[in-house]
Amino acid sequence: MRVAARISATLAAGGPTRRPLQVSDGGTVGDAVAALEVELGMAPGSLASAAVSVSGAIVGHDHPLHGGEELAVVVPVAGG
């Protein structure tokens, strides 16, 4: 099934901030995050600490997805 991920411009590294992703039927947020890591050329698990929202609510990586849903992926930041 197709879902989409919205990511920050920093994470997109100059590419599009909305990325279509393909996950298996019955896939979870974790599956979509893993597909996004591949899409971005990141090591597996790089986005394990990312917060993800679906329909405006923060959900766990075990949250089931439905075709056409859009995820917002928010990576933790630090600084001061």
CATH number, domain of 64, equals 3.10.20.30
Report the pLDDT value the prediction gives residue 44, as an integer from 0 to 100: 96
Say if 37 falls within a structural domain.
yes
* 80 falls within a domain: no
Q: How many separate domains does the chain show?
A: 1
Structure tokens at 11: 């994470």
For the stretch 9-25, pLDDT in tens is: 888 888 899 999 999 99
Whole-angstrom distance, CA of residue 65 vs CA of residue 42? 22
The answer to the question of residue 39 being in a domain is: yes
CA distances from 36 to 28, 67, 68, 77 (A): 13, 16, 16, 19
Query: Residue 43 domain-assigned?
Result: yes
pLDDT at 80: 64
| DSSP letter (8 states) at residue 40 | H
Give pLDDT < 50 ranges for the chain. none
Residue 50 lies in a domain: yes
| pTM for the model | 0.90
